[in-house]
Amino acid sequence: MKYFTFLIGLFVSAQCFSQVNRAEIPGHLRKGIIADEFIYETAPFPQCHASTIEETPNGIVTAWFGGTREGNNDVNIYVSRWVNNQWTAPAIAAEGKINEKTRYACYNPVLYQVPGGELILFYKIGPRVIDWTGWLVRSYDHGATWSKPEQLPDGILGPIKNKPLLIGNTLVCPTSTERDGWKVHFEYTKDNGKTWEKGPDLNDAKPLTGIQPSILRHDASTLQSLCRSTNGTVNQTWSKDNGKTWSMLGQTSIPNPNSGIDAITLKDGRHLLVYNHVVPRKNEEDGWSDRSPLNVAISDDGVNWKQVLVLENEPKGEFSYPTVMQTSDGSIHITYTWKRKKIKHVVIKSI
């Protein structure tokens, strides 16, 4: 009953945002969408990016970074919760303060609900992406208040953009580095972020690159991870032993304009991918191109994908860094950056 009320509330609030500027999208490419709204209308920051979303026992929580612009030392991690059929005002959950004299920008929050435990917010701090350090805070009241920051061990960043996967008692965290080329690896914690192990790089960035991986489950032991790249394609790696070891990075046939993606395995076993279906322009050496449209695709095998929805399709607009989850009632929730000005939230009842 709680989630029925939640969905009805979202549907009503979505009607308030019918004025959102969107190029005409055929009806069959919007089928199943029951809510389409902004997390907030006004905020104490002009820009935002890199949202994350998670379900807690008390409802849904979102987070993102916001400030003057990406990389400025006034960029904090903000949180909003779904309470009484509406989103709470953005509230600071974490700042980039290292000590009394040093403060840097925050980046890329990732929310993770410990089964039967606290809500963890992973994030990064640094003057530049290549100088990131990993941090986390914990909430024991479903995102209302947060603990003091905990810095992760040297060389550990935690999940870099997309959600970790709990396998047995091990949290498998998809992550990456950008200091010496874009490289994918995985990190592991058996005690919810207190101690860590780090896996090897899965590529040398010459020429295949990768950052910000997502994890898909295929069977009891097989996993697939999809990631952003500068190669013009979504790249991938596979594990046959539940994430203990992974294949070297390879390419897929899915286009990628050097833009973040996210993917999950649904409860019915199908895989869902949210991404910008854009083939990079030929003169773009780093694969960078437009971040519109923003698409949803479905696959039975993680190899062959069918586009099923278009979330945004405004020429020259930026609709990027999606994150996706499926809640306990089966609904699919997606958040993403809307023109660097707001965080958009979409709910899909069936797909």
The reply to whether omega before 207 is within 30° of 0 (cis) is: yes
Average pLDDT over every residue of 22-51: 92
Which phi and psi (to 5°) does residue 4 adopt? -65, -45
> Between 195 and 12, whose confidence is greater?
195
> What is the pLDDT, as a whole number, of residue 89?
98
The reply to whether omega before 127 is within 30° of 0 (cis) is: no
> What is the pLDDT, as a whole number, of residue 14?
35
pLDDT band at residue 259 under the 50/70/90 scheme: very high
Kindly tell me if the per-residue pLDDT of 19 is higher than 60: no
pLDDT band at residue 189 under the 50/70/90 scheme: very high
Kindly tell me if the per-residue pLDDT of 15 is higher than 50: no
- The CA-based angle 313-315-316, given to 5 degrees, is 120
Average pLDDT over every residue of 329-336: 98
Quote the CA–CA distance of 294 and 77 in Å, as a whole number: 24
Kindly tell me if the per-residue pLDDT of 38 is higher than 90: yes
> What is the pLDDT, as a whole number, of residue 284?
74
> What is the pLDDT, as a whole number, of residue 282?
78
Least confident of 34-38, 96-100, 254-258: 96-100
> Between 100 and 261, whose confidence is greater?
261
**What pTM does this model have?**
0.93
Is 91 strand, coil or helix? strand
Quote the CA–CA distance of 211 and 174 in Å, as a whole number: 9
pLDDT band at residue 23 under the 50/70/90 scheme: low
> What is the pLDDT, as a whole number, of residue 42?
95
At the topology level, CATH places domain 2-348 in: Neuraminidase (2.120.10)
Tens of pLDDT along 206-255?
999 999 999 999 999 999 999 999 999 999 999 999 999 999 999 999 99
> What is the pLDDT, as a whole number, of residue 87?
98
> What is the pLDDT, as a whole number, of residue 286?
82
Cross-strand bridge partners of residue 61: 54, 81
Kindly tell me if the per-residue pLDDT of 7 is higher than 70: no
